[in-house]
Homo-oligomer: A and B are copies of this chain.
């Protein structure tokens, strides 16, 4: 593994292709580099200049007198691999390739150029970012190896001087978006550590940089803009590391829509996977998805400040001098899933001391402009925070100018330092002048968007609760000895498609209860099975060629006597054959007819596994019937799952409450369902290389204590083609 620190925190830098012309990218980079006091040496490499912006230029990286850590490449794509080789030979340890014209272009030439880069990088163990990148900025070095105009102001410190913790690290495949997080966040007084724009990710990926930042000892919040994922196998371990460390990842994954996928595919040569699988991975590891740049930056502002003081619940106290603003914030909080409960009498009594008759301490606490002038927002927030009824406080204010806050600055600082609950400020007016700086210096994030403020508090409370639960969850137990091998043999011996009679033994190997069924080869066999099983029974044609059995008329239900069974056997197989022939030449391969006891009634569930190209087996669970078909009420998760994990997945269903029993129905056997999900997830995890798909549809969940019935089962192997 190459050393990413040589890339992000080099001691010296060469710019290959440097130019003094600030109107072109090669010159913009030199200009931006010069805007900040990078303590190391910067060596322009140029064929046509002896000096650039006062720095001696070299013909080649080999001519540079010092061993350089990082080379920034801004030369035509076709020259990059050679230049990179020169770097490797000269002992350079890292390269940032700005040049475009690689895999993002149509055709194979770009791919080939990118392969060359990768080969050179591997040969010399170079840490390489890009190509097709806007570069990066290390705000703490400071080093701005980019042409982005967002960091070309020499008068603005890259990090607000009053911040020395809660650093935010950014990785983005899009340069414009990556630096826009900084562009939006810096005016909000947020401290960034790095902005890394990774472009095509020929070598190092966004995840690689996230992994590095998690260990750098500074970065505590990660922002990602993701178009695809180059090394999906690293996602789970890195996301888990972040979660365990309490360093939230806030990201957007492009490609939720078809048009978004088209854009991503063309833009950075990205192959975007199924969004539902990404979503499942995010849900599993508490990764927070952002809606837009402002939203992501605003959520980051909360975590940056309160990473170690997250709300322990969803109850918010609102303090304001504006009744209208307080009411709107209350609505915004409840829309975000928070609660705004009345305060307790003791707290109200303390607050009431300061309120005029037309104020109220109920919650929202409308201090009125008069009381706010008297006690200040800081002390008012402090009083509200004392209430045992709330886990956090939002102050709704007008931060148009700093005058009011200046008067109470010491109180604001004291409350921020002493309160053990997070306090966010939100202004309904835009800020002017130094209000933003002053409130942040005093210790508070200041929002100018009510929805984002409420949503941030909700995200922080959710993250805290999720992380607590995650850290408590015991490790997943491994599969019992022999089970995996037994199932593997069944799978290996089977054809590509396992009909129910073949699939259920695989399930049974994992301790999953399956119906007591018989495969009948003839009508008489089927009739005989009735005696063994007892009626009423169901008949189902078993054929890898007839998977939609109901549509094909290849299922009969509720049969109770031998003549009916014999007749049904024949008609079902005839139906199946006719159905198959409608779209195929030749007869279907019918293995027999499965004879099965009718399942008791129960709540219908669909349960399945699908192999995602990026993340492997994904479990899907949904309430059956209209819930899946009309309301699309399904949830996904990577596997395996613990019981608690399975419960969390179930909780994501909008209709979850139905399982608790509604309209006089008894509560369903949730424990049995969770047990089934856990075992199925273990099976899918153990055989991820073999199994493409498992469908248990439907599963009937009986009343509590009465278990579940798998009414149909299908397994498709990955070699099914």
Residues of A within 8 A of B (CB): 100-101, 104-107, 110, 149-150, 172-177, 179-180, 183-184, 187, 225, 227, 252, 254-264, 266-268, 291-295, 318, 322-328, 330-335, 340-342, 356-358, 360, 362-364, 366, 398, 400-401, 428-430, 448-451, 625-626, 629-631, 654-655, 657-658, 662-663
Contact = CB atoms under 8 A, between A and B. Distances in A.
Nearest to A254: B327
**Looking at A104, A256, A260, A662, which has the most chain B CB atoms within 10 Å of its CB?**
A260
B101 A358 contact: yes
A325 B266 contact: no
A327 B429 contact: no
Contact of A324 (B173, B333, B428, B657): B173
Contacts of A429: 150, 176, 179-180, 183-184
27 contacts: A105-B357, A106-B358, A150-B400, A176-B324, A177-B324, A183-B400, A183-B430, A184-B430, A225-B328, A227-B327, A255-B331, A257-B330, A259-B330, A259-B333, A259-B341, A259-B363, A260-B327, A262-B360, A263-B324, A263-B327, A264-B323, A266-B362, A268-B323, A291-B332, A292-B332, A626-B655, A631-B631
Nearest to A174: B324
Contacts of A330: 257, 259-260, 262-263
**Looking at A106, A292, A362, A400, which has the most chain B CB atoms within 10 Å of its CB?**
A292
Given A293-B450, A428-B293, A328 B401 contact: no
Contacts of A149: 400-401
A331 B256 contact: yes
B363 A262 contact: yes
A391 to B, nearest CB: 15
A638 B111 CA distance: 61
Contact of A263 (B257, B364, B428): B364
Contacts of A448: 294
A624 to B, nearest CB: 9
A327 B358 contact: no
Contacts of A262: 327, 330, 342, 360, 362-364
Contacts of A183: 400, 429-430
Nearest to A397: B176
- Chain A to chain B: the 5 pairs with minimum beta-carbon distance, closest first: A174-B324, A267-B323, A263-B327, A259-B340, A257-B334
Nearest to A106: B357
A327 B226 CA distance: 11
A333 B292 contact: no
Nearest to A321: B176
Contacts of A334: 256-260
A104 B368 CA distance: 11
Contacts of A225: 324, 328
Contacts of A255: 327, 331
A496 to B, nearest CB: 29
Contacts of A260: 327-328, 330-331, 334, 340
A487 B272 CA distance: 63
A280 B136 CA distance: 51
Nearest to A368: B100
A180 B509 CA distance: 66
Given A263-B330, A626-B658, 17 more contacts: A176-B428, A177-B328, A180-B429, A183-B429, A187-B430, A257-B340, A259-B330, A259-B364, A262-B362, A262-B363, A264-B327, A266-B366, A292-B450, A293-B428, A629-B663, A630-B657, A631-B654
A275 to B, nearest CB: 9
A688 to B, nearest CB: 29
Contacts of A357: 105-107
Contacts of A106: 357-358
Contact of A254 (B328, B400, B449, B625): B328
Contacts of A256: 331, 334-335
A660 to B, nearest CB: 9
A393 to B, nearest CB: 14
A325 B176 contact: yes
Nearest to A630: B657
Contacts of A451: 291-292, 295
Contacts of A101: 358
Nearest to A357: B105
A227 B629 contact: no
A264 B340 CA distance: 14
A390 to B, nearest CB: 11
B180 A428 contact: yes
A686 B34 CA distance: 78
A663 B400 contact: no
B335 A257 contact: yes
A606 to B, nearest CB: 12
A324 B267 contact: yes
A625 B259 contact: no
A326 B663 CA distance: 47
A449 B327 contact: no
A262 B362 CA distance: 8
B267 A326 contact: yes
A239 B634 CA distance: 40
Contacts of A266: 323, 358, 360, 362, 366
Contacts of A657: 630
A105 B257 CA distance: 51
Contact of A252 (B110, B184, B328): B328
A431 B629 CA distance: 45
A662 B626 contact: yes
A631 B101 CA distance: 51
**Looking at A363, A401, A626, A658, which has the most chain B CB atoms within 10 Å of its CB?**
A626
A550 to B, nearest CB: 9
A430 B266 CA distance: 26
B662 A629 contact: yes
A292 B323 contact: no
Contacts of A294: 448-449
Contacts of A173: 324
A269 to B, nearest CB: 9
Contacts of A264: 323-324, 327
B324 A172 contact: yes
A225 B266 CA distance: 44
A356 B104 CA distance: 11
A291 B268 CA distance: 34
**Looking at A172, A174, A259, A630, which has the most chain B CB atoms within 10 Å of its CB?**
A259
A177 B322 contact: yes
A362 B175 CA distance: 22
A100 to B, nearest CB: 7
